[in-house]
C-alpha cells in the first residue's frame, strides 16, 4: 500500500538533517500548510500544473482531468512497468483484466507500449476515433480539485492565499 504524507513527512524530518519537501497530494494552500505543520520546509507540486493553460497536456486528457474526481485514479503498471497513479481508462481496464498477462517490468513495458501510446495520442485529436477512451497520463488524487483550467500564476496565487488563510485560522484557534 501507499504510505500517506501525514505519517511519512514527520518520520523523514526526524530521521534526516537536511531540508525536506512534502510531496504527493499537494496542490492547494491547505495541503501546503499541513505539510509545513508536519515539519516540511517546502512542497513539491506535480499534478496541479497539468490542467493549467500553459500545460502541454493532450487536450483530451486535460478535459478528462478537469472532469475527474479523486476516485477516478488508479495505480497501474500499464505504461511504465512501475506502479504509477493515473486516471482509470479503457487502457488501464484492459491491462487490469484477469485474462491478460501482467505488464512487463521496466524498461520492457515502455518498449512494448510507447509506439501504441504515440498512435493513441495522435488519433485522440479526432473526435469519435475511439482513441479518446484510451488517452491517458499520470496524475495524482489531487485531480479531484483540478476542475477548471487556470494560468500557472493563478494556481500559485490561490495556493499562497489559501496557505495564509489556513495558517491564520490555526493561529486564531490557538488564541486564548
* Domain positions in the chain: 1-47+151-176, 54-149
Report the Cα–Cα distance between both ends of the chain, in Å, rounded: 41
Q: 84 - beta bridge partners?
A: 76
Per-residue pLDDT of the chain (176 residues; tens, 9 = 90+): 445 678 899 999 999 999 999 998 899 999 999 999 999 999 999 999 999 999 999 999 999 999 999 999 999 999 999 999 999 999 999 999 999 999 999 999 999 999 999 999 999 999 999 999 999 999 999 999 999 999 999 999 999 999 999 999 999 999 97
Identify the helix (H) or strand (E) that includes residue 21: strand 21-23
Among the residues of the chain, which ranges form H helices?
5-15, 29-37, 59-67, 90-96, 108-123, 131-134, 152-174
Amino acid at each position: 500500500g501507499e504510505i500517506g504524507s501525514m505519517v511519512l513527512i514527520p518520520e523523514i524530518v526526524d530521521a534526516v538533517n537536511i531540508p525536506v519537501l512534502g510531496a504527493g497530494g499537494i496542490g492547494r494552500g491547505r495541503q501546503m500548510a499541513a505539510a509545513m505543520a508536519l515539519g516540511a520546509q517546502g512542497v513539491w507540486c506535480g499534478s496541479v500544473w497539468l490542467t493549467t493553460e500553459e500545460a502541454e497536456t493532450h487536450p483530451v486528457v486535460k478535459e478528462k482531468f478537469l472532469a475527474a474526481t479523486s476516485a477516478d485514479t488508479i495505480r497501474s503498471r500499464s505504461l511504465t512497468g512501475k506502479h504509477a497513479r493515473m486516471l482509470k481508462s479503457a487502457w488501464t481496464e484492459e491491462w487490469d483484466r484477469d485474462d491478460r498477462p501482467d505488464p512487463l517490468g521496466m524498461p520492457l513495458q515502455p518498449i512494448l507500449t510507447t509506439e501504441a501510446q504515440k498512435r493513441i495520442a495522435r488519433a485522440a485529436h479526432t473526435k469519435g476515433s475511439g482513441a479518446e477512451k484510451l488517452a491517458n497520463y499520470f496524475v495524482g488524487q489531487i485531480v479531484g480539485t483540478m476542475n477548471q483550467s487556470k494560468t500557472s500564476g493563478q494556481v500559485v496565487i490561490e495556493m499562497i492565499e489559501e496557505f495564509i488563510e489556513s495558517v491564520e485560522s490555526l493561529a486564531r484557534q490557538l488564541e486564548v
